[in-house]
Structure 1
Amino acid sequence: MFARYLLLLLPLLLLSGCSSSPDANDPTSGMTVEELYEEAHSELENKNYESAINLYERLESRFPYGPYAERAQLEIIYAYYKYGEEETAILSAERFIKLHPNHQHVDYAYYMRGLSSFRLEPSLLNRWFDQDMTERDPRPSREAFRHFSELVEKFPNSQYAEDAVARMYALRDALAEHEMHIARYYLKRGALIAAVNRAKHVVENYQQTSEVPEALGIMVRAYRQLELNDLATDTLKVLELNYPDHDITKAVSRGQGPGSSS
């Protein structure tokens, strides 16, 4: 008897399970891949980024292969970026690069990876107000620079290369500024060797930035305090040769300079 009732209940349970399945309440369940893509793309263009992300994810889940899936994988990077999910955008870009290294628009994935990393760079306001430059983490800047550099190296003729180069200049200046802030910090506190190492790093790696004269000046001053007079003289010659009219050059030549109390 119990078995008979169980058999009668089983179809009802199956029907109940079907009615509560995800597709039952999903308005996109009957859409073709073309329709689903058009809906997702329309949401993206209308700046409904969360909705666009959900639709792109559904598209790829149901139709994981083919040109529409590739478009979804590429466009969702931008959707994540605009939605403020930069780290997810970076991961999505890297996934696209790995899956489609020869895609005709893979340069866009490289660019968006760099742009998402660039947005993780602390804002200019943080530099001037609450945040101590010595406490800033320069890794987002370095990652963004590396990502843009890969784009420019692999796709020098890309439509995104020019903007990438401009952002690389800004990132290079920010990284040099960060290093010099720490060099000044060390010099002020008498950590002379550490100050020299930071300043030397700027001279060797950020040669085209405005921080180089001060870096050389810090090296001269630190060498003098360390009584490494030959190194101080040689560094001063480099400073005078390359920046003869710079205020730092004049100050160091007078025995003053960065970090001087005189």
Structure 2
Amino acid sequence: MRIGLVVIMMLFLGSCAIFGPPTELDDTKGLSAERIYEKASERMASNDYKKSVEYLKKLESRYPNSKYGAQAKLDMAYAYYKQEDAAQCVSTVERFIKIYPNHPNLDYAYYLKGVAYFKQRGIIDKATFQDVSDRDPKVLRQSFLAFKDLLTLYPNTRYGQDATERMIYLKNKLADHELHVARHYMKVKAYIAALNRAKFVIESYPDTSFVEEALVIMISAYDNLGMDDLKEDNLRILKQNYPNSPMFTKGKDTKKQDWWRFWDKD
């Protein structure tokens, strides 16, 4: 009897090896596009974003021309966003924009693209314990450009205020990054490179709080390069635009270099 049981078990295991593990039952088999979309929405509502994406993918593949196609793509992008998968979210949004260039919710697509990149910035900060101004700002630029596209194409969008506030934050972070690099160049006496970074801040982010420091770096760089005329020109600009700058209110002689060499005082 035992031998017979062993033989049966061996045959069973052998069949499993031949045919592979049992596959999961497809609970959408035979369902309409509407019903699959409902199941995806139910999962989304219960925060089961992974399962929701599975349903939405089946909906897309099984009913490619369904009236639920456009919304399914947007829902899928949102589910990827909630799973903190910025790459998949952005990829899905970009496909949506390409396929549905006149969709009434196109502004939401651009907004979602921007916040996906924006959220990725926060995830990286937490993972590296490093301020965003200290590293490659590519993801900041991507987020900024997505919001810029949104406001350019849809100036009256309901997402406008939030996008504007995020852009202000991003501009300040981008300017801070440029000056972070400029400070490093000043430390290693790469004055031309420091000048270029400081000029970029003034030209690209003139409405940020970092313009004053950019001017100070330019003044010092010109001084070290012996370009006195340009140094004096920028001193006048600094005085005119920032008369209460600590550079002028602490009673320091502006002919000396030490007052602006703050990057050497770590």
> Which amino acid is 2:232 matched to?
T
1:7 counterpart residue number: none
* Contact 1:111–1:160 (CA under 8 A) maintained in structure 2: yes
* Contact 1:184–1:258 (CA under 8 A) maintained in structure 2: no
Aligned residues: percent identity? 38
SS at match of 2:68: helix
* Contact 2:43–2:49 (CA under 8 A) maintained in structure 1: yes
Q: Displacement of 1:83 after TM fit? A: 1.0
Q: Displacement of 1:57 after TM fit? A: 0.4
Q: Distance in 2 between matches of 1:21 and 1:35?
A: 26
Query: What pairs up with 1:123-138 in 2 under 5 angstroms?
Result: 129-130=129-130, 133-134=133-134, 136-138=135-137
Q: Distance in 1 between matches of 2:128 and 2:247?
A: 23
> Which amino acid is 1:92 matched to?
T
* Contact 2:186–2:263 (CA under 8 A) maintained in structure 1: no
* Contact 2:187–2:264 (CA under 8 A) maintained in structure 1: no
Q: Distance in 2 between matches of 1:178 and 1:114?
A: 19
Query: What pairs up with 1:87-236 in 2 under 5 angstroms?
Result: 87-121=87-121, 129-130=129-130, 133-134=133-134, 136-236=135-235
1:59 counterpart residue number: 59
Q: Displacement of 1:25 after TM fit? A: 2.5
1:12 counterpart residue number: none
* Contact 1:213–1:249 (CA under 8 A) maintained in structure 2: no
Q: Distance in 1 between matches of 2:261 and 2:66?
A: 61
Q: Distance in 2 between matches of 1:183 and 1:78?
A: 38
Query: What pairs up with 1:13-32 in 2 under 5 angstroms?
Result: 25-32=25-32
Gaps of 5+ in 2: 1-18
> Which amino acid is 1:257 matched to?
W
> Which amino acid is 1:253 matched to?
T
TM (normalized to structure 2)? 0.84
Aligned length: 242
SS at match of 2:69: helix
- Deviation track 1:137-188 (CA, whole Å, cap 9, x = no partner) reads 1111111111110000001111112111111111100000000011111111
* Contact 2:198–2:214 (CA under 8 A) maintained in structure 1: yes
Q: Which of 240, 255, 260 matches 1:257?
A: 260
Q: Displacement of 1:120 after TM fit? A: 2.2
Q: Displacement of 1:133 after TM fit? A: 4.8
Q: Displacement of 1:74 after TM fit? A: 1.2
Gaps of 5+ in 1: 1-16
1:4 counterpart residue number: none
1:73 counterpart residue number: 73
Q: Displacement of 1:130 after TM fit? A: 4.7
> Residues 248 and 39 from structure 1, CA distance in 2 versus in 1: closer, same or farther, beyond 3 angstroms?
farther
Q: Displacement of 1:258 after TM fit? A: 3.8
SS at match of 1:28: coil
